[in-house]
Amino acid sequence: MGTESHYHSKKDRVFVRGIQGHYNLKEELVRLRSMPRVVKGKEIKFIDGPQTYSKHFVEPVDGVTQTLHIHLEEYAPGGKAQKHGHVNEAAFYILDGIGYEIHDGIRYDWKAGDIAIVHNNCVHQHFNASETKPARALVLKSKPMFLFLNMLFQKTVEPRPTEPAVPAGVGFEPRHYEQDYNHDPDAAQSAKLKRSTKTRT
């Protein structure tokens, strides 16, 4: 599953696959069970920029899911996303960094470990509050289901910026291949040594 199969802001997105022609539940279950159950993040690179980068893990076009759109966002130093609104909700789990949202003109601050909720029909924008470090969020939304139900409202108020926000953003490269997102390698090695010592005693 390479980058080419995923969303890019420069091309149209397929949110819900067509339901048409011959349909057999048994065949569909066979097809689904043959699909990968683990998406390898290291095989997908970030796209877009220079202030907001996206790495899309799951979309209906992939043939694995019909109702979920899951992607990773990385905000360059001082970066901000487009200002827009849509009918579906979204949940942003903040993995690292500090930043804030502007929802319908109201500011909401966040940091790593927080969850930022975008409610229905909210005009919103995401901001990295640091001018020296990136910020990152995992985004989960059921946009495909909303579109399938013909709840089609989505509007861009201000497009994604095309220039870096601050000097530290010039030449910024998102962390495509970062390893050990959740584990301190020294702590993991220490735990391994403790286990092997216990086994010997």
pLDDT tens, residue by residue, 138-172: 999 988 888 778 887 788 999 999 999 999 999 99
Average pLDDT of the chain is 85
Give the ranges where 35-165 is alpha helix by DSSP (H).
143-148
User: Would you state the pLDDT for residue 150?
Assistant: 81
Domain-wise residue ranges, the chain: 3-195
Distance CA 163, CA 20 (A): 43
Mean pLDDT, 10 residues at a time, over the chain (201 residues)? 58 66 76 89 92 92 85 97 93 97 97 96 96 96 83 87 95 84 63 68 56
> Domain 3-195 is of which CATH architecture?
Sandwich (2.60)
pTM of the model: 0.76
Task: Work out the burial of residue 81: count CB atoms within 10 Å of its CB; fewer than 13 is exposed, 13-18 middle, 19 or more buried.
Answer: buried
